[in-house]
Amino acid sequence: MNKINELFGKRGDKKLLSLYFCAGCPTVEGTGDVIKAMEREGISMIEVGIPFSDPLADGPVIQSAGAMALRNGMTLGRLLTQLEDIRDEVNIPLVLMGYLNVIMHFGIENFCKACVKAGVSGFIIPDLPFKDYMEVVKPIADRYDLRVIMMITPETSEERIRFIDEHTDGFIYMVSSASITGAQQNFDEAKQEYFRRINAMNLRNPRMIGFGISNRQTLESAQANAAGAIIGSKFVTLLNETRSPEQALRQLYDALKK
């Protein structure tokens, strides 16, 4: 069974926590150490960013991390090799996050083959048009038992959300706002109403809420309205400051209690 489906199938009432980091930042050789530290510290699922020169959905923290990773020499091929080297040591799902240009340049079939070899369970392509997903990407990903995770935002129509729910598997990435990534101090009433509206739709797929989660209020709000939360910018900041995944994780857990 795909590890993403296994994770959600076995979670029961447990609220999941997934973290994002950009491969190659702060160091190009640190990918495996970051992933193994996350698993040891109880993270449920890991989203590994593929650095790209023009990341449209990302805020300044993740943009800066991507730029550093590229300067460090990180590439998609190098990342996949690093993941292959540790695949037997990692049991939780790994999800790659990257932009369409990089993945299509690699070749979608080659990418899917390499993902399986590297122990990757799925991937997110924020700028992938849904038509291209259905006609080009999904048939290939399905052959390799990979989950293509689609995003929804407060602006996504109910019709589109139900279509995504019908034609995807794994989980739906529920973006907390239509803005770029970045830590927020709270989720206001408009976001809470968005969460309630999606809850009322009784979707088939579980949902994970991401973008803006950095403290107790935003974490608890996300976990109360979905299967769990995804944290990116806050962890990337701490990892860059400490240059130690263990220390960054300790500081993150402390921040989530406040």
Residues assigned a catalytic role? 47, 58
Cβ neighbours around 135 below 10 Å, total: 10
What's the CA angle centered on 141, arms 140 and 144, to 5 degrees? 95
Rounded CA-CA distance 214/132 in Å is: 33
Is the alpha carbon torsion for 125, 126, 132, 133 positive or negative? positive
Cβ(185)–Cβ(217) below 8 Å: yes
Cβ neighbours around 125 below 10 Å, total: 24
